[in-house]
């Protein structure tokens, strides 16, 4: 979390830094700040809350200078206050940091003579560097020594008094990219940030330190050796971010789903067979699929478990990344380990991937950001092709993750001899029908908008589903919690009577996700159990399902009919729209919900 930027420019940098931070605000928005160098002297401005507060401050109190660094914060150590906001400054050193310095207490104790001003781990970096400079080291050597003393995860950018043509960046555990301009150089947490300034980007590797001047960059690796890193061309489209006429990024991203899913499916299976361009995964000798992810990506894995088990007959484990490696699970030497992450930078998922290295036969990842750490550390990274996702609530990335995972399950089923060509073609045809069905489901938006007015008054809600609709119930609840702040839980509907049914009363809306699948009748029986206890049921099913379910439900949302196996992909749409419109009724911040950040790069 946290976004960082640095510019050695030809023009005034403060407005450039603020514009760039806007593109990084998805990484955190508790506070923001910039530091610039004018006439050889550092100065900074910092403000609590959204970036707009920093912009307002700069209107009244501008900051001149052509070199600068900036930061947007997701608070870890110390609350969102001005004192805790970055850049941190010690003497002639200013620093912005993304990550966590685990040994900051020890370092702080060693620097006890220094006047610490914040509660953060990050200030330690500035103070340690300043300490080394005071001992006579050059900024380059001081940074190298500082970085070598840090434990934990970090991407950092440094600026120094009296050094208008020097900026130093370092990376260990958190992403950092160098941007190449025309007589200008940049640092940024990702290529999206640098998009308006340059399409030429170098991704730093673990342990790299980059010494930038306006005429170029020198990169040293973890051993201090000169490192030759590629300069890559980033397609403009890959860094484009706008709301496309929608009120929120989330709305734009929901309505992009038919297009991006269709492109994704065409990439993996242009015809009647799964044919992945380039290297294709091989499940022939795989005895187990171990899937690990966080949040919505973890829910995508839970859905995919049904497909791998039912279609390919492959046993499948699904783990939350933050729990996985601490459990020290044994990994079969014939296992395929599969990591799913939109950002490709989620710290827990990355650590889980590293745990399986040298244990599993193959490490696959399903990612949206092709240059991400998870992609680069996998044996094979499979793109979901969703395009930039800005809304903190994951929507199009989830649907595309499911699209890729469905293709992988079909591929595994074929390689395991569980399906013939005709069945493969039939499954792919069902997948190809989804973008059209999703478009139809999105047309139900107005109906959902009106009905969520009542849901917005609830303080608690339940989502129920059976089979692969159970993870979709979890997804519906996660989305609702995340952006409307209404407490919500997802349950396997058959499990309700083992405890959670005690929660049911007239005040708790119960949303039942019930496509007409093999478990439909059982789901409806569970729904009746809820209604018998005065529960207010909102049934989500197709027209025939609605008729079969009978009377007595509080409300029904009629979905297009769908063959059940890939129904979870379609039922993601009402889950998203319900959360979105409930949030709009409540007036919450849909794209930047409180306490959250899009990319979770700390444990
Ligand atoms: O970038 P990742 O897919 O690894 O992120 C995982 C979760 O943080 C993410 O899915 C989160 O749960 C979303 N905000 C949910 O909408």
Contacts of 494 (CB under 8 A, 6+ apart): 466, 522, 526
Cα 170 to averaged position of ligand 1 atoms, centre (Å): 26
- Ligand 1 atom showing the smallest separation from residue 479 Cα: 16
Identify any residues that bridge with 211 across adjacent strands, giving them in sequence order.
168, 218
> Above pLDDT 90, what percent of the chain?
83
The reported pLDDT for the residue numbered 379 is 97
The reported pLDDT for the residue numbered 602 is 75
Assess contact for 331 and 363: CB atoms under 8 A.
Answer: no
Say if residue 321's pLDDT is above 70: yes
Q: Measured at the alpha carbon of residue 539, what is the angle toward residues 533 and 540, in degrees to the nearest 5?
A: 155
The reported pLDDT for the residue numbered 454 is 92
Confidence of residue 476 (pLDDT cuts 50, 70, 90): very high
Cα 138 to averaged position of ligand 1 atoms, centre (Å): 41
Condensed to tens digits (0 to 9), the pLDDT of residues 98-155 reads 988 999 999 999 998 888 999 999 999 999 999 999 999 999 999 999 999 999 889 9
The yes-or-no answer on residue 598 being catalytic is yes
Condensed to tens digits (0 to 9), the pLDDT of residues 350-366 reads 999 999 999 999 999 99
**Distance in angstroms (rounded) separating the CA atoms of residues 487 and 525:** 25
Condensed to tens digits (0 to 9), the pLDDT of residues 3-36 reads 999 999 999 999 999 999 998 988 888 999 999 9
Identify any residues that bridge with 33 across adjacent strands, giving them in sequence order.
46, 71
The yes-or-no answer on residue 479 being catalytic is no
Question: Ligand 1 pocket test: which of 254, 294, 479 has the largest number of ligand atoms within 8 Å of its C-beta?
Answer: 294
Residue length, the chain?
603
Mean pLDDT in residue range 436-457: 95
Q: CA torsion, points 341, 268, 413, 441, in degrees to nearest 10?
A: 70
- What three-state secondary structure class fits 217? strand
The reported pLDDT for the residue numbered 74 is 87
Condensed to tens digits (0 to 9), the pLDDT of residues 381-433 reads 999 999 999 999 999 999 999 999 999 999 999 999 999 999 999 999 999 99
Mean pLDDT in residue range 219-228: 96
Most confident of 299-313, 494-508, 509-523: 299-313
Handedness of CA 218, 146, 221, 362 (dihedral sign): negative
Report residues whose beta carbon is within 6 angstroms of any ligand 1 atom.
Answer: 294-297, 341-343, 346, 349, 392-394, 478, 482, 599-600
Nearest CA to ligand 1 atom 16: 393
What is the separation, in whole angstroms, between the first and last Cα of the chain? Answer: 10
Condensed to tens digits (0 to 9), the pLDDT of residues 84-98 reads 999 999 999 999 999
Cα 476 to averaged position of ligand 1 atoms, centre (Å): 14
Q: Which one-letter DSSP state was computed for residue 173?
A: B
- Ligand 1 atom showing the smallest separation from residue 395 Cα: 16
Mean pLDDT in residue range 156-168: 97
The reported pLDDT for the residue numbered 238 is 67
Output the pTM of the full model: 0.85
User: How many Cβ atoms sit within 10 Å of the Cβ of residue 56?
Assistant: 11
Mean predicted lDDT score pLDDT of the chain: 94
């Amino acid at each position: 979390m946290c976004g960082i930027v640095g510019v050695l420019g030809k023009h005034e940098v403060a407005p450039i830094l603020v514009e760039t931070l806007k593109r990084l605000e998805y990484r955190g928005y508790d506070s923001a700040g910039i530091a610039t160098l004018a006439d050889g002297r550092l100065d900074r401005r910092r403000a609590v809350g959204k970036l707009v507060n920093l912009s307002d401050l700069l209107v009244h109190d501008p900051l001149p200078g052509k070199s600068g660094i900036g930061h947007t914060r997701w608070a870890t150590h110390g609350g969102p206050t001005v004192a805790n906001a970055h850049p941190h400054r010690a003497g002639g050193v200013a620093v912005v940091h993304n990550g966590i310095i685990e040994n900051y207490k020890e370092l702080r104790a060693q620097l006890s003579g220094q006047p610490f001003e914040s509660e953060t781990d990050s200030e330690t970096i500035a103070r340690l560097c300043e300490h080394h400079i005071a001992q006579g080291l050059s900024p380059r050597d001081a940074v190298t020594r500082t970085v070598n003393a840090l434990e934990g995860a970090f991407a950092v950018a440094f600026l120094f008094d009296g050094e208008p043509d020097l900026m130093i960046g370092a990376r260990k555990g958190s992403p950092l990219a160098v941007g190449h301009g025309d007589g200008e150089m940049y640092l940024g947490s990702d290529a999206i940030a640098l998009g308006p300034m340059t399409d030429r980007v170098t991704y730093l590797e673990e342990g790299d330190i980059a010494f930038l001047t306006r005429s170029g960059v020198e990169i040293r690796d973890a051993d201090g050796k000169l490192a030759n890193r590629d300069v890559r061309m980033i397609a403009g489209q890959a860094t484009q971010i706008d709301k496309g006429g929608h009120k929120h990024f989330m709305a734009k991203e929901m309505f992009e789903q038919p297009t991006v899913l269709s492109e994704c499916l065409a990439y993996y299976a242009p015809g009647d067979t799964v044919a992945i361009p380039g290297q294709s995964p091989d499940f022939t000798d795989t005895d187990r699929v171990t899937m690990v992810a966080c949040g919505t990506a973890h829910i995508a894995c839970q859905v995919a478990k049904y497909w791998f088990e039912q279609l390919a007959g492959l046993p499948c484990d699904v783990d939350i990344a933050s729990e996985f490696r601490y459990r020290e699970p044994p990994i079969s030497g014939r296992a395929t380990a599969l990591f799913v992450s939109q950002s490709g930078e989620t710290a827990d998922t990355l650590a889980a991937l590293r745990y399986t290295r040298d244990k599993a036969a193959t490490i696959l990842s399903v990612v949206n950001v092709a240059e991400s750490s998870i992609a680069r550390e996998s044996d094979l990274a499979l793109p979901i092709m969703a395009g930039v996702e800005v809304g903190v609530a994951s929507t199009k990335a989830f649907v595309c993750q499911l699209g890729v995972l469905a293709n992988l399950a079909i591929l595994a089923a074929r390689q395991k001899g569980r399906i013939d060509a005709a069945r493969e073609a039939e499954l792919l045809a069902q997948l190809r029908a989804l973008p059209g069905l999703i478009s139809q489901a999105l047309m139900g938006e107005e109906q959902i908008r009106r009905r969520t007015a009542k849901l917005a008054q609830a303080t608690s809600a339940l989502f129920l589903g059976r089979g692969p609709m159970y993870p979709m119930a979890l997804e519906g609840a996660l989305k609702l919690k995340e952006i409307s702040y209404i407490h919500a839980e997802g349950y396997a509907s058959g499990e309700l009577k083992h405890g959670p049914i005690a929660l049911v009363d007239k005040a708790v809306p119960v949303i039942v996700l019930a496509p007409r699948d093999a478990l439909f009748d059982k789901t409806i029986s569970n729904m009746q159990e809820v209604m018998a206890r005065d529960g207010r049921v909102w049934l989500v099913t197709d027209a025939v399902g609605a008729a079969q379910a009978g009377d007595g439900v509080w409300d029904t949302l009629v979905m297009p009919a769908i063959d059940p196996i890939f129904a979870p992909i379609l039922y993601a749409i009402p889950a998203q729209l319900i959360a979105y419109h409930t949030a709009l009724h409540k007036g919450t911040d849909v794209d930047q919900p409180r306490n959250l950040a899009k990319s979770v790069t700390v444990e």
